Amino acid sequence: MKRTLLLLAVLMWMPLCLLAQYSLSGLVRSAETGEVLPGANVHLLSARRLTATSTTGEFQFNNLNSGTYTLRISYVGYKSWEEEVQLNSDRHLEVALPDDGFLADEVVVTATRATEQTPTTFTEVSKDQLRKQNLGQDIPYLLQFTPSVVSTSDAGAGVGYTGIRIRGSDATRINVTINGIPLNDSESHGVFWVNTPDLASSVDNLQIQRGVGTSTNGAAAFGATVNIQTERLNPEPYAEVQASVGSFNTQRYAVKAGTGLLNNHFAVDARLSSISSEGYIDRASSDLKSFFVSGGYYDDKTLLKANIFSGSEQTYQAWYGTPEAVVRGDRAGIEAYIARNWIEDEDEINNLLNAGRTYNYYTYDNETDNYQQDHYQLLFGRDLTDNLQINLAGHYTRGRGYYEQFRNNDMLSDYGLPDVVIADSTISETDLIRRRWLDNDFYGFTYAAAWEPAGKLKLTLGGGWNKYEGGHFGEIIWARYASTSNIRDRYYDNSATKRDFNTFLKGYYELTTKLDLFADLQYRSISYQFGGLDQGGITIAGDFDYHFWNPKAGLTYRFNPGSRLYASYAIGQREPVRSDFIDAPTNDIPEPEVLRNLETGVEVRVNRQLQFSANYYLMNYKNQLVLTGELNDVGAAIRINVPESYRTGVELQGVYTPWKVLRLQGNAAFSRNIIRNFDDVLFNYDDETFVRTELRDSPISFSPNVVANAIVTVLPVQNLELSLLSQYVSRQYLDNTGSTTRSLDDYLITDFRVNYVLRPRFVKELRLNLLVNNIFNAMYANNGYTYGYISGGETIYENFLYPQAGTNFLFGVSVGF
């Protein structure tokens, strides 16, 4: 704590020496509509300085000497503005850009985005914000300091398999779209960011809506929505080379280029990336490749754009986790773990005793996950009249891959194979290597029509239809005793088909010049069929149909520019995921979940120096599916509907710029996350029965009561930013019992970031980024799991954690032409 205070004091002292210099700030709007223009390029030509407007349309240059400067502002779809500015004191400009006759790329996401008129809770993240953090880590880690977010990493350093929770809700409850097209897996509802490595380098902006949010496409949002927009038109040709290196032999290389606007109508952009890392956890390596290509046609009323992007990944598996005793260096606890789990292999015992926090259960040299995902998008936007705009999109995603595992002494019968008889010996177990495959196709279309008749009404009709076809199968590629198996035989093989249709109508009505009414009604229809032979030789079959109506309504009161009050009420419903059906006991079909969500808040812009917001939320669940510890008839963990549960809390945000060279930012979420009635279930191996314990008002797992972030940024000289970023996450429970013996300790981590931009005459831009993560070397884990059982009359719980790296760094160089 003393070190943190000392570093804060140094950062805050530095600006005092710089107060004699001036700042140039401004607000950029559309001349036609008056709306602010986020992401506009603002170029101070004579000083060779470049920035972009924030989500509120603002920009600022600090530490300028007195004199005359040439300022140029450009934005896709608008004519450029250029003017000489005399500076002998701090100046603030308001610039209105006239339409230049191009339909902007934003048309592809407007139907599913929230605006200042939308009475819900959301956060905008700009390209510039992402770029400051983007040195190879996945998107969950780039969003780590946004409100109510907790990021996780299997490998411990933010590369490879990573996850994100928002308001305690995991990835299966967070709707993610790219240009309005669903990214969530149709069966698990999860998002696997490792399949789209370095996507952030092709993102223009993203919006996080917390809670149910507005109607969108794809999986139902039960915790949040992440709406991603990829690169917009860059009217000027460009090229960029990026390279970064860091701890654990992490390396990232990327090349980007664009033609700019050709013949006043066409543009092509491309990116090629490679990311590799050995990981903090032993052998938790990642080898990731990706590309992004976009070509578009633009005119005053039409946008036609094709995106093709792909990611391939090979990651060494680290998802088993580390026994808690190993993480804590508890030798007696490790020895007890070895004894009660009948571990006799000498190499594994040595691994447990000597590996420490970087322990990895897997030691087979090709224990890897291998997957490739290809995305194809065709986007079309058209202004039919001055009041009517449509956009259509078609998409196709192809995914195929496997993970490979070495298995020691598996039963041949588990693979549908007979015992091997050699003379008088019968062999029923064998060492083997298996691959478990996914082979899937996902395709469909989305549509939206926005109508703004003269007057006070705005309406959007939107939706989409998607179809998923997925295959699940497994192969034995080697066995010490092969029995009757042949190469390419599938010991399990099943398939699934899922159709998802949704349509929504949302609208705003201006009740007064300051008060807007919002209403949104979505209909969603799901048809899901699966069948075949599953793992363990079990025949599975299912055919389910769901029909959901999801209404939303609210009010927004704008009491001055940039300030508003809002309140909304929304209902969301969603179907169970694949594992809920597959793992459920016979004839015990899970019920769909229902979420009733109240959001109310205030956002206040006092002046250019101070902005703050506060919101209250209540997320009330019916039939939420949670893990209870219960197992099905083949020992698989199952989720059970609990009748009543809720999340409620307050989220606070603020930005304060007391001096032009100092910016203070912070956000904090304080919440209570409760299951009203809950039965914890343990399996008793002594008599093969289940023991149930009834609990009331127990906390929901992985839902910290406090998540708080603070960012202190100093701009001591031109184009240099020094930032200190801290995050505090309170205790998280590994199950729903509220037991501290099965929980993750609270933690405080602090990162240090340096962003320095040079503009020498031989290149357009030279950018240097340094990120030192966890500068105080906190020993923490942000994820884990637990399971319990009764044996020999003793209740035993096994806790597994995912330790995160201590102090580590990433350093990047980017050269733009």
Amino acid at position 613, single letter: S
Residue 97: its pLDDT value, please?
87
Residue 108 or 294, more confident: 294
Nearest to 375 by CA among 227, 204, 256, 199: 199
Q: Two tokens at 377?
A: 């998008």
Residue 311 has pLDDT above 60, yes or no: yes
Residue 761: its pLDDT value, please?
83
Residue 101 has pLDDT above 70, yes or no: no
Q: What percent of the chain has pLDDT over 90?
A: 72
Residue 589 has pLDDT above 90, yes or no: no
Q: Which residues contact 428 (CB under 8 A, 6 or more apart)?
A: 411, 412, 413, 419, 420
Residue 29: its pLDDT value, please?
87
**pLDDT bracket for residue 12 (50, 70, 90):** very low
Buried b / exposed e over 754-771, threshold 16 CB at 10 Å, is ebebeeeeeebbebebbb
**pLDDT bracket for residue 536 (50, 70, 90):** confident
**pLDDT bracket for residue 13 (50, 70, 90):** very low
**pLDDT bracket for residue 633 (50, 70, 90):** low
Residue 167: its pLDDT value, please?
96
Residue 2: its pLDDT value, please?
52
Residue 67 has pLDDT above 90, yes or no: no
CATH of span 101-235+265-321+360-549: 2.40.170.20
Residue 15: its pLDDT value, please?
46
Residue 249 or 537, more confident: 249
Residue 585 has pLDDT above 80, yes or no: no
Residue 801 or 38, more confident: 801
pLDDT tens figures, 511-523: 998 999 999 999 9
Buried b / exposed e over 720-741, threshold 16 CB at 10 Å, is ebbbbbbbbbbebbbbbbbbee
The arithmetic mean of pLDDT across residues 722-748, rounded, is 96
The arithmetic mean of pLDDT across residues 162-177, rounded, is 95
Burial of 441 (0-12, 13-18, 19+ CB in 10 A): middle
Amino acid at position 63, single letter: N
Domain boundaries, the chain: 1-100, 101-235+265-321+360-549, 322-358, 606-751
Residue 235: its pLDDT value, please?
85
Name the helix (H) or strand (E) containing 127: helix 127-133
Burial of 614 (0-12, 13-18, 19+ CB in 10 A): middle
Residue 561 has pLDDT above 50, yes or no: yes
pLDDT tens figures, 736-793: 999 999 999 999 999 999 999 998 888 889 999 999 999 999 999 999 999 899 998 9
Write out the DSSP string of 721-744: EEEEEEEEE--EESSSS--GGGEE
Residue 455: its pLDDT value, please?
77
The arithmetic mean of pLDDT across residues 117-130, rounded, is 92
pLDDT tens figures, 327-365: 999 999 999 999 999 998 898 999 999 999 999 999 999
Residue 4 has pLDDT above 60, yes or no: no
CA distance 223 to 446: 23
Residue 213: its pLDDT value, please?
93
Q: 3.40.50.1000, 2.60.40.10, 3.40.50.1820, 1.25.40.10: which CATH number matches 1-100? A: 2.60.40.10
Highest mean predicted confidence (pLDDT) among 125-129, 270-274, 581-585: 270-274
The arithmetic mean of pLDDT across residues 37-53, rounded, is 79
Residue 759 or 585, more confident: 759
The arithmetic mean of pLDDT across residues 256-264, rounded, is 93
Residue 770: its pLDDT value, please?
97
pLDDT tens figures, 278-310: 999 999 999 999 999 999 999 888 999 999 999
Residue 108: its pLDDT value, please?
80
**pLDDT bracket for residue 17 (50, 70, 90):** very low
Residue 44 bridge partners (DSSP)? 49, 71
Helices (H), 561-602: 578-582
Nearest to 198 by CA among 301, 288, 108: 288
CA distance 370 to 404: 8
Residue 546 has pLDDT above 90, yes or no: yes
CA distance 159 to 276: 8
Residue 38: its pLDDT value, please?
79
Nearest to 47 by CA among 72, 30, 26: 72
Residue 493 or 300, more confident: 493
Residue 378 has pLDDT above 60, yes or no: yes
CA distance 797 to 787: 6
Taking CA 469 as the corner, what is the angle to CA 374 and CA 198, rounded to the nearest 5 degrees?
25
Name the helix (H) or strand (E) containing 512: none
Residue 106: its pLDDT value, please?
74
The arithmetic mean of pLDDT across residues 426-442, rounded, is 96
pLDDT tens figures, 380-415: 999 998 889 999 999 999 999 999 999 999 999 999
